[in-house]
Amino acid sequence: MKKKKRYFGVTIMILALVFFYLPIITVVVFSFNGSKSLTVMKGFSLQWYERLFRDSQMMDSVYTTVLVAVIATVVSTIAGTLAAVGLSKSRRVVRDLVLQINDFPIMNPEIVTAIGLMLFFITLGVERGLLTMILAHIAFCIPYVILSVMPKIRSLDPNLADAAMDLGATPWQALTKVIVPEITPGILSGALIAFTMSFDDFIISYFVTGRGVKNLSIMAYTMSKRVNPTINAISSLIVGVITLILVLINLVPFISSKIKNKKNLTEV
């Protein structure tokens, strides 16, 4: 009985993984297609990779995506961390109110946040383009950073900073040498969320951009009608980079522990 149930579970699990990975595998496979078709493979070729690097519009969008994601991540991680530290020491009313506003981009449908920011930039008369995209990304990334840093601060001893300052640390030192090291895991996961949110964002970027500034998502959207396998090529490269990073993250501790074991053995 128990075993039977396990088989059922394994089957469902495998089906789910096939479902999730099938499109990704197709993207990678068809990026090497000899023809333009998205349904039939006609030989192996690297032509789409070659075209990708020659396609200036495509390369521009890669550049925009990375640039926006890096700036948004750095700014929102620093600003979000400082804001979270500040809010944790603020009066309760202020904190609750700000956290409520902070929840807007998380709770609201993305399209509402997007048109809100669009109307905001239009009303102010700011010309939409790269700058508005970066500002919008910072705006929706900070809330996620605060959300992941805040619980770490809550679990901190509230007297920690005071103790450091009593012992002669300046507030700046108390912040950077005492508080920040304690909440680093929260800051890092906040930064990771911010980066992936920004890197993959479509809806908000689509509404706040202008003057032909496009990120990868917008490129993919505008290509929905005419088939363009270069999008497969760039996606495959991204899949490759992500896989590589994951392998490294999982392999490095494994190898270093192996080396340590060996050292211990030789020492013994």
- Of the candidates 207, 213, 214, 233, which one interacts with another protein according to CB under 8 A? 207
Q: Which of residues 41-70 bind another protein (CB under 8 A)?
A: none
Lookup: tokens for 64: 């925009």
Residue 193's CB is within 10 A of a number of other CB atoms, namely 18
The single-letter DSSP state of residue 229 is T
Choose which of 18, 46, 59, 111 interacts with another protein (CB under 8 A). 111
Q: Does 109 bind another protein (CB under 8 A)?
A: yes
Smallest distance from another protein to CB 216, Å: 6
Q: Which is nearer to another protein, 29 or 263 (CB)?
A: 29
Phi and psi, residue 91, nearest 5°: -65, 150
Which residue, 235 or 268, has its beta carbon nearer to another protein? 235
Q: What is the CA radius of gyration of the chain?
A: 24
Per CB under 8 A, does 115 bind another protein? yes
Total residues binding another protein (CB under 8 A): 79
* Touching another protein, residues 7-26 (CB under 8 A): 8-10, 12-13, 16-17, 19-24, 26
User: Which two structure tokens, joined as six digits, stand for 34?
Assistant: 């000899």
DSSP string, 245-261: HHHHHHHHHHHHHHHHH
Minimum CB separation of residue 261 from another protein in Å reads: 19
Measured CA to CA, the distance from residue 151 to residue 84 in angstroms comes to: 10
Q: Which is nearer to another protein, 26 or 155 (CB)?
A: 26
Residues 136-165 that bind another protein (CB under 8 A): 138-139, 142-143, 161-162
- Asked whether position 189 contacts another protein by CB under 8 A, the answer is no
Q: Which stretch binds another protein (CB under 8 A): 52-60, 114-122, 183-191, 260-268?
A: 114-122
Residue with smaller CB distance to another protein, 74 or 98: 98
Query: Restricting to residues 228-247, which ones interact with another protein according to CB under 8 A?
Result: 231-232, 235, 238-239, 242, 246
Q: How far apart are CA 120 and CA 116, in angstroms?
A: 6
69-29-205 Cα angle (round to 5): 25
Q: From 49-57, 82-90, 126-134, 259-267, give the range in contact with another protein by CB under 8 A.
A: 82-90
8's enclosing H/E stretch is helix 2-30
Could you list the beta-strand ranges (E) of the chain. Answer: none
Site for another protein (CB under 8 A): which residue of 130, 131, 175, 178?
A: 175
Q: How far apart, in whole angstroms, are the C-alpha atoms of residue 184 and residue 197?
A: 20
Among 68, 69, 72, 83, binds another protein (CB under 8 A): 83
Structure tokens at 42: 């006609």
* Smallest distance from another protein to CB 263, Å: 25
Nearest residue to 205 via CA among 125, 126, 138: 138
Report how far residue 28's alpha carbon sits from residue 33's, in angstroms, rounded to the nearest whole number. 9
